[in-house]
Amino acid sequence: MKTFSRLTTTQSLIFTLLVLVGCSSGSRRESPATNQAAALVGDLLENPLEWNAITTQIDRHRSYMSTLYGNDPALEHAMSTDDAKIPVDAKFALVTWRQQADPNWFGAKIPGKVKSVEMVYWSQQPGAEAELTYLQLDGSPLRPATDLTPSQADQRQRYITSLKAAVLP
Amino acid sequence: MKTSKRRRSAWIVGGSLGVLFLFLQLFRPQLCNPPVVAEIAVPSRVRDILRKSCYDCHSNETKLAWFDQLAPASWLVAHDVREGRRYLNFSELGELPAAKQQGILFEAINQIELGAMPLRAYRWSHPDKMVSADDLATLKDYLISTSPQPIAGAAERNATLDQWMAWSHSNARPEVSPAPNGIPFFSDYKTWTAISTTDRWDNQTMRVVLGNAIAVDAIRQRTTNPWPDGAAFAKVAWAQDSDGSGNVQAGEFKQIEFMVKGAAKYADTNGWGWARWLGAELTPYGENAQFTGECIRCHTPVKSRDFVFTIPLETSR
């Protein structure tokens, strides 16, 4: 009898403990450690996410968010006036993601699946002068866009290199 | 013989506990309901939910259950109500500007959604006061419907341009005073790596979060919970400049906030050093070191993520 009552006491203690542990672990939703949905995978030669973040923008209607990244000469260009020439070693990348709700904050959106990466950089053919080049990669995994006209490419290149750096005091 | 002895001891122990319990009732904590100054201005469907689930601790209309009034539980209850009112009092919020009230409501709803509020002991002892899934949906729908999407007018655009001109044309760095808790400004933060961007539509700002080399390395090594000592983040916030056609650009620089990990060094503030500087002048935030209480309370719902909200991008391939 005594053994039985001791056993039930132990059992109820264990049960209570399990309930408490269950409550504490079950009451909170776990969010992922890293944002793998937004990772850049595909035909990228360099990872622009390692460059300077120059500025950021949102397209409310299509629920996109973009961040302009660039190396130091590109950042310097984005801090200069409209008529400044683009430095010869500048590299820009406008990365656009579809937005997703931030699981950790109702009232915020964060990058979701990548929509496109638009690169602007100098390239040089043998015997020719270096020229500014625009390359658009779409989708996940990223693949070079195929249906782009030269005038569209020119327009996007001008737009990306015209963006001003967000103030970082 | 043995049984009667045991029974007597049980009576003595039980009786003593009973006397102690009655004695404790002499020490009742002082808890009164001051007049309602200015109640938060929300529709009744929202106020009813707040009244049911929040007002017992976060208003001047506290209604205690009979068991809340018995010592020693009453002491804990009184403490929770005092702390609750100090941090958020729905009976006084109505005096604040509408945008500020809205911001406070967003934080409150995030505390509910992330499971930090109502307090677990309160949920357990007052199951009828729980925030149901329907209640939460009502609160969220209300906030979505009342969140403004302002268009940047000439004044905002000029302010952005003036700030940009002054910043991009000057090589002089402002002299930055340390935060009131002694944390110095991280002047090398611009060389850190951007680990995420956030569209904060709740308060019309956009943010870039930067991590120092230790933080970025921890992301690569997947050693982010807990973050290693020395890991530091900078969260930069700009106003959202919207052109009215759905295009939003980073506008005026608003503030920069830092978190630096030091499990032992910052043990008193949950293992992190917290700091915030406001405006392009980088004015330290907070009148004294107690300002960190605000940071910690807001970040407590993500305690299981070592107090970090940001879900970092994979910066390496």
Confidence check: pLDDT of B161 > 50: yes
Taking the Cβ of residue A142 and every Cβ of chain B, the question of whether any pair is shorter than 8 Å is answered with: no
Confidence check: pLDDT of A27 > 80: no
d(CA B197, CA B206) in angstroms, rounded, equals 7
Give the Cβ contact number of residue B13 at 10 Å: 10
Per-residue pLDDT of B34-66, as tens digits, reads 999 899 989 999 999 999 999 999 999 999 888
A14 in a domain, yes or no? no
Q: In the Cβ-directed half-sphere of B210, how many Cα atoms lie within 13 Å? A: 24
How do the domains of chain B map onto residue ranges? Answer: 31-146, 154-305
Q: Report whether A132 contacts A91 (CB < 8 A).
A: no
Question: Inter-chain contact A104–B305, Cβ cutoff 8 Å?
Answer: yes
Question: Inter-chain contact B240–A58, Cβ cutoff 8 Å?
Answer: yes
A169 in a domain, yes or no? no
Which among A39, A50, A169 is the nearest to B193, CB-wise?
A50
The least confident of A38-47, A93-102, B132-141, B281-290 is A38-47
ipTM: 0.84
Query: Peptide bond before B43: cis, by omega within 30 degrees of 0?
Result: no
A27 in a domain, yes or no? no
Q: By residue range, what is the domain housing residue A57?
A: 41-162
A93 in a domain, yes or no? yes
Question: Inter-chain contact A57–B248, Cβ cutoff 8 Å?
Answer: yes
Residue of A nearest to B118 (CA): A27
Confidence check: pLDDT of B118 > 90: yes
A57 in a domain, yes or no? yes
Per-residue pLDDT of A6-19, as tens digits, reads 444 445 444 444 44
Per-residue pLDDT of A67-111, as tens digits, reads 999 999 999 999 998 888 999 999 999 999 999 999 999 999 999
Taking the Cβ of residue A141 and every Cβ of chain B, the question of whether any pair is shorter than 8 Å is answered with: no
Question: Inter-chain contact B208–A67, Cβ cutoff 8 Å?
Answer: yes
Confidence check: pLDDT of A29 > 80: no
A70 in a domain, yes or no? yes
The CATH fold assigned to B154-305 is Chalcone isomerase (3.50.70)
A8 in a domain, yes or no? no
Provide the pLDDT for residue B38.
Answer: 93
A40 contacts on B by Cβ (under 8 Å):
314, 317
Work out how many domains chain A is built from and give that number.
1
A4 in a domain, yes or no? no
d(CA A109, CA A86) in angstroms, rounded, equals 33
Helix-helix angle B133-146:B44-53, to 10 degrees: 130
Per-residue pLDDT of A45-78, as tens digits, reads 899 999 999 999 999 999 999 999 999 999 999 9
